[in-house]
Every structure is written in structure tokens, then in C-alpha cells.
Chains A and B, each alone.
Chain A
């Protein structure tokens, strides 16, 4: 340890002097990392802010009627770009639809596509990254090249082909097709990040110590490697969530995303884009909802990541 680091370390709560534990418990019962993390999260303002926002958005997706919006599909061209009024508090868009109602009802599809696609990407990325990083050798060589190949495919081209193929059924609204398309194409960054963090933590001394004690691969991965390699992975996923919601808009705009009279923030944003100078409202409102949603998830990810890092307590 260099002298300067020592100074910095001694300055922090992790200094040489024994630090009082933050969580004073009456009994000295053993606690787990998750337990400590929860105690920590409960005190975090960021966590609660994010949690409340996420809850509101999820409610919006599940029960849009709770939010007092009118019928989003009732569009009257005569009201084109009409001003805000008591019945439509955010005004009307180009088609004369209620912007507030469309934004509230759009949450379901946007959130569904964003969350599910991110989940798919996360699972694929985790499996690829973890196995490539942990097992290394020829498996890593093959998996890494495969990741490179997927990364090399032009996103739009692949998305068009895939989404078209998946949404052949004329009765589907295209949500599933878009979700799978985005999920299957978006995992590469997550996998790469996971792989490099796994390689970094795999070579730590504490993993060697656990191996020496005789722990098998499952314990090594679950107890020692995974908990120490998820920090950047979580960050990548929260960013991916936002990207996915926006990508759905791109695909829908190109006519290969959500179909029929489906409503989503992405569709609203892309439709309103053309009139941004004359009527910015229909563009701004769904964008704000999108931004707040993404922000809420990023904050949630940050809070959870920090809570699981004992050094930050």
C-alpha cells in the first residue's frame, strides 16, 4: 500500500482504527449480505424515490384507468394539436388524440417491451459472460468470437429481419416480437462486461482461498465470483432498459414494431417528431415519462448496487 493510499484509507471509515458497525443489533445473530443490504436500502432516500416512481409507472402499466385518463383511441382530427383543456390536460396531438391518455396507456407496452427485453438480454448476457469468464480456455474463445459476431451484425437490419419473421401472425400486436428481437440482439455489451468482471474477480486471492478449502464451481460462482462482478453489469442493464424502450419506438416507426392501433411512448414520440416546432407538447410529454422511467430504474440499480457493496457503508 502506498503511503498516499494509506492516508486516504486512514481518512475514510475503512481506516486502521476499528470502526463501529453501522448496524447495531441487540443480539449478535449472524447476518447475511442481503440482510445488511436491506437495512441499508431502507435508509436510502434515492432508493425510496426510485421505488415510488417505479411503483407509479408499474401501476400505470397495470391499471391505466386509475389515472383518470380518457379514451386514448378516441381521435378526432378536428382537435388536431388542440390546446390543453379540462378533459385533455396535456392537449391533443396531430391525429387529434388525447396526449395524456395516450401517454398513460402507452406505459404498458413501453414498460413491457423495455423490461422483458432487458430481462432476456440480462439472462443471455449473464450466462455467456459468466461461462466465458469462469471457464476460460476454448469455451471462452468460442463464446467471445460468437459475441463479436453478434455485435458485428447491423442492428437495424437484423431487427427488421427478425421482427418481421416473428410477427408473421396478423392478429398479434407485435409486442412479443419486438421484445424478443430487442432481447436477442441487445445482450452483447452486458455479456462482455460480465465476462471481464468475472475474469477480474476470478483471479482474486479469495477465490483461490475458497478453491483451496475445496469449494466446487457452483459455490465459487455463486458466493465469490458473482457477488463481486455484478456492479457494472447492473449499470449496463439499467441503461439498456432505456435504450430498449427507445428502440421499440424506432422499430414501430419503421412499421415493424408494434402494430395496429397499439399505443406506446415510442410510437407517440416518433409520430410527434415531425411537428416538434409547431406543436412540441405531444413530443415532450411521453419523452418526460420515458426519461423519468429510465432515471427511476437507473437510480434503483445504483441504490441496490451500492447497498450490496459493504465498502460503501
Chain B
């Protein structure tokens, strides 16, 4: 098992001491008949083993596209990575040939999706789909693969795993299906797991179960976890660091405690003030006026300027605000971050 993994590890420039995952200046655009939609416009972040990075943003902010670009599963065309690097242990994944990338996907970086039902093949049993991974990538025998599959379903706490291995995806409940998908993602022991809105379709009590499970598995395996979500409650519960995305850019990156207590970017601040809280009554909801920009027509300067309470003339002009260093390991793309944070 380990020897096969070791063989894949021989990739050009792979350096075990380099950061686990590093995304530098990533640009992705979609070339459609209506024009070029600039979905990601310079995303930067890094991920360490055992760390949970939350990418927070609303629909269309580019968070899922970023994940797809990292995984190399971008629909292309119309999607194209135009610039930037995605470095895994020092190797730029974007420069790898497709066959090596495929191996990377299964063995080192895995992903789970919001909709488990459509992510699993409906005509094969769960056991077959899991076992296939072991047979194909690990060269295991049928019996061994089945044994490993049952172990894995046990690990994701599916009751009576042995009996359920012959079931089809639709025979599982929503929460159980999500567990099956987690099992599949973790089958080949990846170092990085990307979870794209993993609990959005689930009820809150089931969401709590799944998030608990993810945290536990992450700790056991010392895995880096990228959690893509719009839910600021979930992020507050599990994330170590947060990248807030808006119109394809990371507008603020900070530790979870810093950003919730003293946000440095007006968008992050406004988002936090716009959600009602379970433990408070009678709070005034702060409305972010206007709409997110169309990705085909992102405003000049800071993309958030038409909706921003702090905007001045400088915000309406190019170049857009650079990632100002607010504190070590903390950046905000706002000319007036001092005013925002000072309040």
C-alpha cells in the first residue's frame, strides 16, 4: 500500500518540507457567448497539515471555481485557468500532465460535494464504488478491497457497515450518503480534503453530525481541510483561518477569532452584521445595499466599492487595493482597513 503511494510521490520538484498547499495569484475565467466572466481574479492562500481553512463567500464569488481549479476538474471549455500556481508540496499542479494530475487527485487531494446523490453513481453499489478505488489505485484483491471498504464505512460511522455495503446510493439517507462520499474521498488517505458546501443540503442536526465527523477524521489523519461555505455559523465552529472571497478575490484573510471580533474588510464586516444570531433577539440587521457585480462587468478599482460605506474616490479607480498586511498572517484588500477595524 505504502510502496504504491511512494511511487506516486516521485513527482518533479516534490519537497516534503514545502507548504502542503499553496495557491498563488490564481485567475480563472469563463469564456461564454455573452463575454468573459472573470470568476477568480487573483486568489491567494496556503494550507498547513491539520489546518482548516474556510473559504467564505456568496454564490458567484468564485469559491467553488477556485476549488475546481485546485482539483483540476474545471469544466474546460468554458473555464480556463489563465494565471497563477497551485502548489502541492512545492510542485505546481497546473503544470503537471493530465495523467499525473489524475493520480494526485485521488491520492493527495480529494474533494466532497454538496449533493452526494449526484456525486455517487446510482447504478453501482456503495461497496463496489469504494472497492473500485482500492483495486484500481492500490492493486488490492476483491476480498481485501471489500474488507477495507467496510473498515472505511465504519470509520465514517455508518451503522451496520457490513450489511450496507451492498446497498445503492439512493437507499441511504442524506446524511448517510454524505458519509459515504466522505469515505470515498478519504479512501486513498489524501493529505488535503476540499469540502464544497458539504452540509448545505442537510438538516441542522445532521449537519452537526457531519461537521463533527469531519473534524474528528481531520484530527486523526492530520489532514489539511478546505471548507467552502457561505454559512458563517459553521465557519465559526470549525475553521482555523478564513479567506473571505468577493467577485473572485480574497478580500480578507485572517484567523477565525480576529475576523469575527474585528473584521478589517468592509464586506466581511457587513456580512457579519447582516446575519441574525440564534443567541440574540432584537438586533438590527445591517443591509448590504445593491447586488454582487456581474462577473462580466466587475467595477473598476475595488469590486465592492458600489456597495461599500467606506468607499472614497480612490476605491473607484484602478489599481484595485492590494492585500494590505493588517497583522502577521492577516491581509485585507481595503485602502481603509484601519478605519474598518478601528471601530
Contact = CB atoms under 8 A, between A and B. Distances in A.
- A–B direct touch, CB within 8 Å, in complex? yes
A10 B62 contact: no
A11 B64 contact: no
B65 interface: yes
B329 interface: no
Contacts of A10: 37, 60, 292, 294-296
A17 B34 contact: no
Taking residues whose C-beta sits less than 8 angstroms from the other chain, chain A's interface range is 10 to 19
A250 to B, nearest CB: 41
Interface in A1-30: 1-4, 6-13, 15-17
B297 A7 contact: no
B30 A8 contact: yes
A11 B295 contact: yes
A306 B147 CA distance: 56
B64 A2 contact: yes
Nearest to B247: A10
B114 A2 contact: yes
A236 B63 CA distance: 41
Given A7-B39, A11-B34, A12-B34, A1 B296 contact: no
B135 to A, nearest CB: 31
Nearest to A3: B64
Contact of B64 (A4, A9, A12, A15): A4
Interface string A51-80: 000000000000000000000000000000
Nearest to A9: B60
Contact of A8 (B32, B62, B114): B32
B141 interface: no
A12 B35 CA distance: 8
B65 A13 contact: no
A17 B297 contact: yes
From DSSP, what is the main secondary structure of chain B's interface residues? loop
B294 A3 contact: no
A7 B294 contact: no
B59 A6 contact: yes
A1 B293 contact: no
Contacts of B65: 3-4, 7
A131 B293 CA distance: 44
Contact of A1 (B59, B75, B297): B59
B204 interface: no
Contact of B296 (A3, A4, A6, A15): A15
Given A12-B34, A13-B34, A15-B296, A7 B291 contact: no
A20 to B, nearest CB: 12
Contacts of B59: 1-3, 6
Contacts of B34: 11-13
A7 B39 CA distance: 7
B114 A11 contact: no
A10 B32 CA distance: 11
A7 B60 contact: yes
Contacts of B32: 8, 11-12
Contact of B294 (A1, A2, A15): A15
B166 to A, nearest CB: 31
9 contacts: A3-B60, A3-B64, A4-B75, A7-B295, A8-B30, A9-B60, A10-B294, A16-B294, A17-B294
Given A7-B65, A11-B296, 19 more contacts: A2-B114, A3-B60, A3-B63, A4-B75, A6-B59, A7-B37, A7-B295, A10-B292, A10-B294, A10-B296, A11-B30, A11-B34, A11-B36, A11-B37, A11-B294, A12-B34, A13-B34, A15-B295, A16-B60
5 A-B pairs with the lowest CB-CB distances in the bound complex, closest first: A3-B64, A11-B37, A6-B60, A15-B294, A6-B59
